Chain A
Amino acid sequence: MDTTAHHGKVNERPPASAPRLTLSGISKSFPGVRALHNVSLSLYPGQVTALIGENGAGKSTLVKIMTGIYQPDSGEIGIDGQATTLPSAHAAFGHGITAIHQETVLFDDLSVAENIFLGHAPRTRFGTIDWRTMRNNAREVLETMRAGHIDADARLKDLGIANKHLVAVARAMSIDARIVIMDEPTAALSMKEIEELFLLIEFLKSDGKAVLFISHKFDEIYRIADRYTVFRDGEMVGEGLLKDTGQNEIVRMMVGRNVDHIFPQREPKIGAPVLSVSGLSHPTEFDDIGFELRKGEILGFYGLVGAGRSEVMQAIAGITRTSRGAISLDGKTIAPKSAADSIEAGIVYVPEERGKQGVVIGLPIFQNVSLPSLKRTSKSGVLRLAEEFALARSYTERLDLRASSLSQDVGTLSGGNQQKVVIAKWLATTPKVIILDEPTKGIDIGSKAAVHGFMAELVAQGLSVIMVSSELPEILGMSDRVVVMREGRIAATCDNKGLDAETLVRTAAGIAA
């Protein structure tokens, strides 16, 4: 990649005078979670602004505000210097704001031309769609984008992802979009396709569009973007020109934070290896994963989203199959074929999405807790309700669950208390190894502290914990050792003593120190 030539070209362009879109003082809260606090962002015509931040920094919320899906609680939106509001997706569309997502929302069974002109197709004087004009216009738009190789009559489903992106951009061009948001557009693309996408972004720049580019990959950001804005924990912590700012400086902005949370102090008593994994591979998700988990240890798994951490854990938990590799627990090789097998062996996986994969909303608390332990609380298939209740009571009490009754529907609990129910239900299976996937994602500070305290208690009792987390403070505050994954492989395994956040982020993103 010839980045210097590229930068040279950017620098030649006179700096744009007025921003096309300004967001200022934007705040947005959800019950129990402050997603954005007083953030600002400016997008300039003919320039690409990179939005950088860890997971949960508030990037997606901001995109949803810009596309009219969420309404900010406070703050102002200005387009071309005029204050405005974006009360709906339609209004945002009307202002020429368009977003191209990781998984672009287009219609697989319609033709390229139909996708480009859906909703604003040219009409004949009888009010029917003027197919010939539509096809010609589609070809024209594609030509101007130097994407003439795409057949306007092809079904969208026959195109590759990169070409689908091109169609999405063509759609944006056809409605005269002036602000283009690209939310991790390269996540599913090959190297060659990424190059084509960059050519396209160059074209959008030269056409005077204001582009917002969201990516986790530093090489891409430096390659294509002119400006940057860094978010951290829902606040804007820095912005400027990329040519004046080094990668390490941006990493520092991303991770530097106030200490708002004290992690439990503990004296780890680490014993013999409990779980050992070697050469674990999956045809598409991960390759050659090997690590050891010792008794009484918290092993942190850090990495960017999509690095394959959850997929590895799901394989260990028997939910997905692997192509190669071995898992052994207490020296005995195990080959779990289902979640039930893993639970039986003593490995439990607490999945990331509490609502979808964890609690069963509609069932009472005690039934949620006993769900994976039904075999133990029943005799030849018949449930013993007294034992079920006793099991649920003992574990929910240990976790300090706040509920009026164990017969209460779990859906009536707060997010934090639901998470406690989920953890209680896994602990009730008396596991040897407990895998927590993003255990504190989206829950309030108080519940976070309770979950962390409880983790410390668990390992003190001789359990072993794997904690998958994208939150650096949590990784650094809780882990004894940290495994960093990148693109489906283990990038590093390090002792947590003396480990710092910047090293971790650089390892996860593949940036040399």
Chain B
Amino acid sequence: MKNFLKYREIWLLTGIVVLIGLISTRFPGFADPANLRQVFNDTSILMILALGQMVVILTRSIDLSMASNLCFTGMVVAMLNAAHPAIPIPVLIVIALLVGLVLGVINGFLVWRLNIPSIVVTLGTLTIYRGATFVVSGGAWVNADQMSPDFINFQRAAFLGLPVLSWISILVIALFFLVMTRTQIGRSIYAIGVNPTASVYAGIDVGRTKFIVFCISGMIGGLAGYLWISRYVIASVEVANGYELNIIAACVIGGISIAGGIGSVGGAVLGALFLGIISNALPVINISPFWQMAISGSAIILAVVLNARGERRQGRIILRKAEAA
């Protein structure tokens, strides 16, 4: 399966290169390294979110509340910053991670202890977290002029030629790669996604593992909350409304199977980059936003078709075995 996955990622990478090539014919500056760096930076938040979503999807669950978590946590840190500009940014980031974690713990607890399907739990918390944003802010916005310069400039500072935001996403990608390939929890996530029954017999606590993945997606949602607000310098109840679908789309395009157990860090990153390139490039070559939607929609369907074909081949082997047994 490793080979097959690689195969899939190589295809996605090829698709991205072809896409960049096509765009370059209309807009020659697009393939410029400086511009590509810019695209990467623009896509950083989506990549981080897609990774958080990926670990959830791998366990046959889904987290629909990530964008609402982002909105709520973003509002909390923006209000904190407005009220106490002296709080250093690293502390604010830790607070964002913790607030996000709390929201993730709520999701995870409901999924684990009350055994409610994650799609139902997070559909509920999607609304609740956004509603909570309204409650804490009283419906007011936090504008750029209320935020401290540090708050806004932290992620824009250049470090070794890249903005801090890009470095944060690189760090998160590396961390996820290590967790998914080199740790017990990463292995357990894949195992319960592929075969929950066998995992139970092997002594893996399926409920607890699901709880942990929701904690991870919650923390990622919180981190993305700070990054988003400081990037677009406005915090409101409407922030990232509907963005959960972009996150899931990035995962699906990246070859992460909604049925669980199949997917990789590379896939999620490439899936997010694909969407990032489309949304960055098409406006500059004068293609209407509606075409953008059509193109990303087609990419999703194409990705699902390719994945389904791959999985069906496996399914047949299982079926034959089951019949023989």
B202 touches A355 (CB 8 A): no
Segment from A224-232, A233-241, A273-281, A407-415 that makes contact with B: A407-415
Contacts A30-B324, A355-B325 known; A425 to B183 CB distance under 8 Å?
no
B198 touches A359 (CB 8 A): yes
Q: B52 contacts the other chain (Cβ, under 8 Å)?
A: no
Q: Give residues 339-372 of A contacting B (CB, 8 Å).
A: 339-340, 342-344, 349, 351, 353-364, 367, 371-372
Q: A146 contacts the other chain (Cβ, under 8 Å)?
A: no
Q: B194 contacts the other chain (Cβ, under 8 Å)?
A: yes
Tell me the bound Cα distance from A151 to B198 in angstroms: 43
Tell me the bound Cα distance from A358 to B202 in angstroms: 8
Tell me the bound Cα distance from A183 to B184 in angstroms: 45
Q: Is the interface of B mostly helix, strand, loop or mixed?
A: helix
Closest to B260 in A: A362
What is the distance, in angstroms, from B205's C-beta to the closest C-beta of chain A? 7
What is the distance, in angstroms, from B272's C-beta to the closest C-beta of chain A? 24
Q: A81 contacts the other chain (Cβ, under 8 Å)?
A: no
Q: B61 contacts the other chain (Cβ, under 8 Å)?
A: no
Set of chain B residues within 8 Å of A411, measured between Cβ atoms? 1, 314, 317-318
What is the distance, in angstroms, from B3's C-beta to the closest C-beta of chain A? 9
Q: B323 contacts the other chain (Cβ, under 8 Å)?
A: yes
What is the distance, in angstroms, from B4's C-beta to the closest C-beta of chain A? 8
Set of chain A residues within 8 Å of B318, measured between Cβ atoms? 355, 361, 411
What is the distance, in angstroms, from A85's C-beta to the closest C-beta of chain B? 20
Tell me the bound Cα distance from A363 to B198 in angstroms: 12
Q: Give residues 155-209 of B contacting A (CB, 8 Å).
A: 182-188, 190-191, 194-195, 197-205
Set of chain B residues within 8 Å of A361, measured between Cβ atoms? 194-195, 314, 317-318
Closest to B314 in A: A411
A363 touches B183 (CB 8 A): no
Q: A385 contacts the other chain (Cβ, under 8 Å)?
A: yes
Contacts A349-B201, A355-B318, A362-B1 known; A374 to B184 CB distance under 8 Å?
yes
Contacts A30-B324, A358-B198, A362-B262 known; A382 to B205 CB distance under 8 Å?
no
Tell me the bound Cα distance from A364 to B3 in angstroms: 11
Set of chain B residues within 8 Å of A415, measured between Cβ atoms? 321, 324-325
Q: B218 contacts the other chain (Cβ, under 8 Å)?
A: no
Q: Give residues 370-396 of A contacting B (CB, 8 Å).
A: 371-372, 374-375, 378, 381-383, 385
B184 touches A383 (CB 8 A): yes
Closest to B195 in A: A360
A339 touches B187 (CB 8 A): no
Closest to B191 in A: A360
Q: B322 contacts the other chain (Cβ, under 8 Å)?
A: yes
Q: B2 contacts the other chain (Cβ, under 8 Å)?
A: yes
Tell me the bound Cα distance from A344 to B199 in angstroms: 15
Q: A331 contacts the other chain (Cβ, under 8 Å)?
A: no
Closest to B194 in A: A362
Tell me the bound Cα distance from A317 to B202 in angstroms: 10
Q: B320 contacts the other chain (Cβ, under 8 Å)?
A: yes
Set of chain B residues within 8 Å of A382, measured between Cβ atoms? 182-184
What is the distance, in angstroms, from A440's C-beta to the closest C-beta of chain B? 11
Q: B261 contacts the other chain (Cβ, under 8 Å)?
A: yes
Closest to A409 in B: B1
Q: A31 contacts the other chain (Cβ, under 8 Å)?
A: yes
Of A32, A343, A357, which is within 8 A of B197 by CB?
Answer: A357
Set of chain A residues within 8 Å of B2, measured between Cβ atoms? 364, 407, 409
B200 touches A339 (CB 8 A): yes
Interface size on B, residues (CB 8 A): 33
Of B195, B314, B324, which is within 8 A of A33 by CB?
Answer: B324
What is the distance, in angstroms, from B85's C-beta to the closest C-beta of chain A? 38
Q: Mark B302-323, 1 if CB is under 8 A from A, else 0.
A: 0000000000001001101111
Set of chain A residues within 8 Å of B261, measured between Cβ atoms? 362
Q: A215 contacts the other chain (Cβ, under 8 Å)?
A: no
What is the distance, in angstroms, from A208's C-beta to the closest C-beta of chain B? 35
Set of chain B residues within 8 Å of A385, measured between Cβ atoms? 182
Contacts A359-B198, A362-B1, A382-B182 known; A371 to B187 CB distance under 8 Å?
yes
A360 touches B187 (CB 8 A): no
Of A32, A378, A412, which is within 8 A of B324 by CB?
Answer: A32
Q: A223 contacts the other chain (Cβ, under 8 Å)?
A: no
What is the distance, in angstroms, from B238's C-beta to the closest C-beta of chain A? 39
Tell me the bound Cα distance from A367 to B195 in angstroms: 13
A442 touches B325 (CB 8 A): yes
Of B1, B190, B321, which is within 8 A of A355 by CB?
Answer: B321
A375 touches B197 (CB 8 A): no
Q: Give residues 233-277 of B contacting A (CB, 8 Å).
A: 261-262
B201 touches A351 (CB 8 A): yes
Q: Mark B283-304, 1 if CB is under 8 A from A, else 0.
A: 0000000000000000000000
Could you pull out 22 A-B pairs where Cβ atoms are within 8 angstroms? Answer: A30-B324, A317-B201, A340-B205, A351-B198, A356-B198, A360-B191, A360-B195, A361-B194, A361-B317, A362-B314, A363-B191, A367-B187, A372-B203, A382-B182, A383-B183, A411-B314, A412-B317, A415-B321, A418-B321, A425-B202, A442-B324, A442-B325
Considering the complex of A and B, which 7 residue pairs feature the smallest CB-CB distances, nearest first? A340-B203, A442-B325, A30-B324, A362-B194, A372-B202, A339-B203, A360-B195
Q: CB within 8 Å of B: which residues of A? A: 30-33, 317, 319, 338-340, 342-344, 349, 351, 353-364, 367, 371-372, 374-375, 378, 381-383, 385, 407, 409, 411-412, 415, 418, 425, 441-442
| Beyond known contacts A383-B186, A409-B2: 17 more, CB 8 A cutoff | A30-B323, A339-B201, A340-B204, A351-B201, A353-B325, A355-B321, A356-B197, A357-B198, A360-B194, A362-B194, A371-B191, A371-B198, A371-B202, A378-B184, A412-B317, A418-B321, A442-B325
